[in-house]
Amino acid sequence: MLYYHIALLKSPLSPLTYQSEQMLEIGTIVEVPLSKRTIEGVVIAEVEKPSFACELISSTYKAFYPTKTLELARFIAEYYVCSLGEALSLFVPYQQNTVHIKETISTDIHLSHEQQKAYDYINAHAASLLFGDTGSGKTEIYMKLFEKSINEGKQVIFLLPEIGLTPQMKNRLKHHFGTHVAIWHSKISAKKKEQILNDLADGKVSIIAGTRSALFLPLSRLGLIVVDEEHDESYKSGNRPRYNAKDLALLFGQKLGCHVVLGSATPTLSSFQKLPTFRLRGTFFDSKSHIMYDESEHGISFVMTQAIEKALRGKKQVIVFLPTRANFKYITCKSCGAHVECPFCSVGMSIHHNMNALKCHYCNYTEVIPKVCPKCGHDEIIATRMGTAEVSQKLSEHFKEYVVQQFDRDEVRTEKQLSSILSDFNEHKIDIMVGTQMLSKGHDYHGVGLAVILGVDALLGMSDFRSREKTLALVQQIAGRAGRKGYGEVLIQSKNSDFFKQYLSDFEQFINDELVFRKGLYPPFKKMLRLMSSHVKDEKAKELIEKVALMAQHFPHVEVVGHGKANIAKIANKYRYELLARSDSSKALLELAHAVKMLHVEADMDPLSFS
């Protein structure tokens, strides 16, 4: 008999020992019994015969994980504090026989003098940041890099945020690279995924464009990883393993010896500080934009309707942006100030006018909008912040002869809907588009004469050390959508116009000033770790986090910033507490995270969200 350590896929358990009658290669995928079911696992080491009886490995598969993948998974398990089985389950296994078809292609892309300098700079560095203004032509440089990789017989991963996978981007890729491109994201069917994996194995596909999961596909000749809109938070996974695809791309580059390029018009401070950077200025479009400010409270003001009317009369289109999800706003009682909370989570319920309902955006609990305040019985309850549905409705009533379209996740559920709304907008069948973050992502709108940004002060005031960075990046991305061709206006509803006036036209200046403010306190100068406990009993969750805080005192290089109730103290009937720690070294934080693992607290290394 032979004995092996098996990492159980998708399981939080540590590797277990099993026996086999045949010799197995390290990295082989096997099926093993676990209590009363069978589960898939990966052979990670051959071991001596243990002192206890072992179960027999049931069967083996042809698919496998190469040594390099096992190394990467070990790093993920260590750094993001999860089991090796959970880390390995991110990766799609390799097939036995893969084919390599060497082809030469030529695109019709010609780079400008500045773009050529950026292209040469990127080729001269193993990893680099392309800091290019909106409309400066970053995509053309990426395409040229893809062409070079294919002609060298290499494969490419092109990572985009979920919303960056626009029909426009797909069409551009298909136009230049035809069948060499495959698109990969969570919404494609299992059948389509299988087809793409077969095409990869057959050497037919050289470029994979997709969301963060595309990073884990079986590419044996990887030459380049491009992470577009590298500042986007959707690269960070919200569930265990809580990895950040942007950071992993840089690690993969080192371990697999491939080039890595991060690109953005509003890069994160850490990328700007750590990577060799090429600054690509200017815009291709002959465009000028004029920024205006509206200091009224919130909602649709007189200044705003005047500006919209002026743009519409000038045959221009308008985009109206709201900082948060669809109707992320609360009903507040005018008498006692209470808002209706979800019974299972400690958050105000968001109002959805089209459903005449209140909905919790955390556990999806839904109830009818109440007529009176549940706390004091007063009958005057008002919606405190406007949502997309309400803004769309109000604008439709005000501008009756124009077409208003809501553009958010409640309205756009499929790729087909996204394509048809965008093409209607570009064909001027829609006059005003009202939406959330989706509006800010990489769509090219040609006829936008006015971009209106509502209520950004709510974002600036959030309890997050990155709130200034996030808000400025968002406003800049949306402002860049106006006047892509010709003259455009931007109207920002904010009482903090001084902040925007100072930095909106100079993100680089903002980064340099913000780096001074963060020194010695926050990333990129410090590493951060968030530990979370949750339990159906409040006192149990609290007890757990207090135990963690006590243990943290024994780690001299770790500073506890604070601990207590989480921002959202209850989700899906579980109470939540958290502890935030910082240190000069990741090693010190990881020692703490692994030491408290047995208490069943959730660890989030380099956290991006503090809710």
pLDDT one-digit tens code per residue, 266-319: 999 999 999 999 999 876 444 466 889 998 766 788 999 999 999 999 999 999
Give the domain-ending residue among 485, 518, 551. Answer: 518
- Together in a domain, 414 and 313: yes
Give the domain-ending residue among 518, 539, 573. Answer: 518
| 341 domain-assigned | no
Q: Name the pLDDT band for 241 (thresholds 50, 70, 90).
A: very high
Are 223 and 62 within 8 A, CB to CB?
no
| 99 domain-assigned | no
pLDDT of residue 418: 80
Q: How far apart are CA 93 and CA 204, in angstroms?
A: 18
pLDDT(403) > 90: yes
- Together in a domain, 489 and 533: no
pLDDT of residue 375: 75
Other Cβ atoms within 10 Å of 36 Cβ, number? 5
- Together in a domain, 314 and 451: yes
| 333 domain-assigned | no
- Together in a domain, 442 and 580: no
Residue with tokens 């389509």: 192
Q: Name the pLDDT band for 223 (thresholds 50, 70, 90).
A: very high
| 182 domain-assigned | yes
Q: Name the pLDDT band for 495 (thresholds 50, 70, 90).
A: confident
pLDDT(398) > 50: yes
pLDDT of residue 18: 97
Show the domain range for 58: 2-88
- Together in a domain, 231 and 172: yes
Of 298, 351, 337, 334, which Cα lies nearest the Cα of 459?
298
Give the mean model confidence (pLDDT) for residues 525-531: 96
pLDDT(165) > 80: no
pLDDT of residue 285: 46
| 375 domain-assigned | no
Report the range of poorest mean pLDDT among 18-32, 127-141, 329-343: 329-343
- Together in a domain, 175 and 225: yes
- Together in a domain, 276 and 297: no
Give the mean model confidence (pLDDT) for residues 538-551: 96
Are 453 and 475 within 8 A, CB to CB?
yes
Give the domain-ending residue among 457, 491, 518. Answer: 518
What's the CATH code of the domain at 485? Answer: 3.40.50.300
| 461 domain-assigned | yes
pLDDT of residue 327: 33
Q: Name the pLDDT band for 102 (thresholds 50, 70, 90).
A: confident
Give the mean model confidence (pLDDT) for residues 357-373: 78
Domain count, the chain: 4
Are 577 and 566 within 8 A, CB to CB?
yes
- 364 sits in the region (left: phi over 0; alpha: psi -120 to 50; else beta) called left
What global pTM score does this model have?
A: 0.88
510-548 per-residue burial string, b: 16 or more CB within 10 A, e: under 16: bbeebeeebeeebbeebbbbbbbbbbeeeeebbebbeeb
The SS3 of residue 545 is: helix
- Together in a domain, 400 and 300: yes
Q: Name the pLDDT band for 486 (thresholds 50, 70, 90).
A: low
Q: Name the pLDDT band for 474 (thresholds 50, 70, 90).
A: confident
